[in-house]
């Protein structure tokens, strides 16, 4: 018989259950008080938990109308240019969550508004986070309204995109007219120099507009990615084969023992542009005897592609990471005829790398006093995981969503 005043096991259990219910109730109140819509989805894409904000958006204010439904029966996700983001797309948040947490600005539309022909499309910052501590595979999805600063930035990027599009046509006409003039009878020396300068400046301006347009498309999610899964060596071989013989002879590739076992998800054109830009910088600033080295290191979950050359390097006080910011150039190279003249080439590299879920890392060495340091850049990309023999989750798309997919492909 327990001593008087001592707690029995039953009373202790009851108190713990009461405290747990109270904590869960307080937690529910906290989640419901936020302005962010939250969902927890399981591996079968069924909603297992929802906060009040999400229930008001997609369940008429009742969480029970949302819980238990598949995600594709509740909402439809689109890119900012209105292209459908199907569940079979590797950029879909549920597929991205397999590689870790992240976020993207997307258009969100309730399936109910699709069926009723309403145009209730919301632009949201969608965040995803895998949950692995609960004995299953779950994904937390958070839909946040854009802050005023983010909205302003999106508008600015859309303006740059429209401006770049508008400039391409007149620049093409101007470039064609200058080339036709150059093919005519020889001009006097001063006029010939002026004509050549005009041709060079027009080419530089066209390159600037192309880079601005590409960056704008990447910023506003309008870039048309063509991602494919293949062994790493296939992507690198295709890039090497695209080079002219003289440039290819300057590239030294250090491979791991079994690179073909490493399955990656890349856009080949994006890979070519990244590597071409880095190689072009080395050839432009390193001289005729420069050697461009790519060292491939395969880890358990990611691949490191390390780029370096034996060129003159960069000043010791120069921050390498700053060179990847837009309109950033080395003062030592700011001369006519050197560089792209706009400081956007490495920014394009960084944006393309991040668009393929990679990151740009910088390797630094401490040179001797007054000496320059070598230019070394490391690109890190995740390895595609094999899950139950499949590399992409194949799903049965809602018939209405499937109809939209077919419409977008026409």
Topology given in CATH for the domain delimited by 228-382: Heat Shock Protein 90 (3.30.565)
3-state secondary structure the chain: CCCCCCCCHHHHHHHHHHHHHHHHHHHHHHHHHCCCEEEEEECCCEEEEECHHHHHHHCCCCHHHCCCCEHHHCEEEECCCCCECCCCCCCCHHHHHHHCCEEEEEEEEEHHHHHCCCCCEEEEEEEEEEECCCCCCEEEEEEEECCHHHHHHHHHHHHHHHHHHHHHHHHHHHHHHHHHHHCCCCCCHHHHHHHHHHHHHHHHHHHHHHHHHHHHHHHCCCCCCCCEEEEHHHHHHHHHHHCCHHHHCCEEEECCCCHHHCEEEECHHHHHHHHHHHHHHHHHHHCCCCCEEEEEEECCCEEEEEEEECCCCECCCCCHHHHHCCCCCCHHHCCCCCCCCCCCHHHHHHHHHHHCCCEEEECCCCCCCCCCECCEEEEEEECCCCECCECCCCCCCCHHHHHHHHHHHC
Please measure the distance between the N-terminal and C-terminal CA atoms of the chain and give it in whole angstroms.
80
What does the alpha-carbon distance between residue 313 and residue 310 come to, in Å, rounded to a whole number? 8
Q: Which residue has the higher pLDDT, 23 or 236?
A: 236
**Region 302-321 average pLDDT:** 80
pLDDT at residue 409 tops 50: no
The mean of the pLDDT values for the chain is 76
Helical axes 148-182 vs 189-219, angle rounded to 10°: 150
The pLDDT confidence band at residue 259, using thresholds 50, 70 and 90, is low
What pLDDT digit, counting tens, does each position of 127-150 carry? 898 887 667 788 999 998 876 656
What pLDDT digit, counting tens, does each position of 186-197 carry? 777 787 788 888
Residue of 324, 338, 342 whose CA lies nearest to 210: 342
Give the least confident one: 27-41, 191-205, 284-298, 321-335. 321-335
Tell me, what's the pLDDT at 386? 38
Give the least confident one: 23-27, 77-81, 141-145, 386-390. 386-390
Task: Tell me which CATH code domain 11-146 carries.
Answer: 3.30.450.20
What does the alpha-carbon distance between residue 222 and residue 214 come to, in Å, rounded to a whole number? 9
Task: Please tell me whether the overall predicted TM-score, pTM, comes out greater than 0.85 for this model.
Answer: no
Q: Is 307:270 a contact under the CB 8 Å cutoff?
A: no
CA angle 355, 361, 362 (to 5 degrees): 140
The pLDDT confidence band at residue 24, using thresholds 50, 70 and 90, is low
Q: Can you say whether residue 256 is alpha, beta or left, with left for phi > 0 and alpha for psi between -120 and 50 degrees?
A: beta
| Domain residue ranges of the chain, discontinuous segments joined by + | 11-146, 150-219, 228-382
Tell me, what's the pLDDT at 285? 80
What pLDDT digit, counting tens, does each position of 270-299 carry? 999 999 999 988 888 877 788 999 999 888
pLDDT at residue 317 tops 80: no
Beta strands at 263-266 and 228-231: parallel, antiparallel or unpaired: antiparallel
pLDDT at residue 119 tops 70: no
Topology given in CATH for the domain delimited by 150-219: Helix Hairpins (1.10.287)
């Amino acid at each position: 018989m327990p001593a008087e005043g001592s707690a029995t096991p039953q009373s202790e259990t009851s108190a713990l259950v009461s405290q747990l219910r109270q904590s869960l109730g307080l937690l529910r109140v906290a989640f419901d008080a936020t302005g962010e819509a939250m969902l927890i989805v399981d591996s079968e894409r069924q909603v297992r938990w929802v906060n009040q904000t999400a229930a008001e958006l997609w369940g008429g204010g009742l969480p029970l109308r949302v819980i238990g439904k598949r995600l594709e029966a509740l909402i439809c996700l689109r890119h900012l240019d209105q292209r459908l983001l199907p569940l079979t797309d590797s950029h879909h948040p549920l597929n991205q969550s397999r590689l870790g947490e992240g976020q993207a600005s997307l258009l969100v539309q309730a399936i109910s508004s699709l069926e009723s022909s309403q145009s209730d499309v919301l632009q949201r910052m969608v965040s995803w986070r895998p949950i692995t501590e609960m004995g299953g595979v779950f994904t937390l999805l958070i839909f946040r309204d854009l802050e005023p600063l983010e909205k302003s930035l999106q508008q600015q990027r859309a303006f740059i995109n429209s401006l770049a599009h508008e400039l391409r046509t007149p620049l093409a006409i101007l470039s064609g007219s200058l080339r036709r003039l150059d093919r005519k009878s020889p001009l006097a020396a001063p006029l010939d120099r002026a004509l050549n300068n005009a041709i060079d400046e027009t080419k530089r301006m066209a390159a600037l507009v192309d880079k601005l347009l590409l960056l704008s498309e990447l910023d506003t999610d309008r870039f048309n990615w063509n991602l494919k899964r293949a062994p790493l060596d296939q992507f690198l071989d295709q890039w090497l084969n695209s080079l002219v013989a003289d440039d290819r002879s300057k590239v030294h590739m250090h491979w791991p023992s079994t690179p073909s076992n490493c399955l990656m998800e890349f856009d080949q054109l994006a890979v070519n542009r990244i590597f071409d830009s880095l190689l072009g910088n080395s050839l432009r600033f390193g001289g005729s005897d420069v050697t461009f080295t790519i060292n491939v290191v395969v880890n358990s979950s990611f691949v490191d592609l390390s780029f370096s050359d034996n060129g003159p390097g960069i000043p010791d006080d120069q921050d390498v990471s700053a060179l990847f910011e837009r309109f950033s150039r080395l003062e030592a190279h700011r001369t006519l005829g050197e560089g792209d003249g706009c400081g956007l080439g490495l920014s394009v590299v960084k944006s393309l790398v991040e668009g393929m879920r990679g990151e740009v890392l910088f390797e630094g060495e401490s040179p001797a006093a007054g000496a320059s340091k070598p230019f070394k850049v490391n690109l890190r990309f995740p390895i595609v995981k094999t899950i139950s023999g499949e590399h992409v989750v194949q799903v049965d798309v809602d018939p209405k969503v499937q109809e939209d997919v077919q419409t977008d492909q026409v």
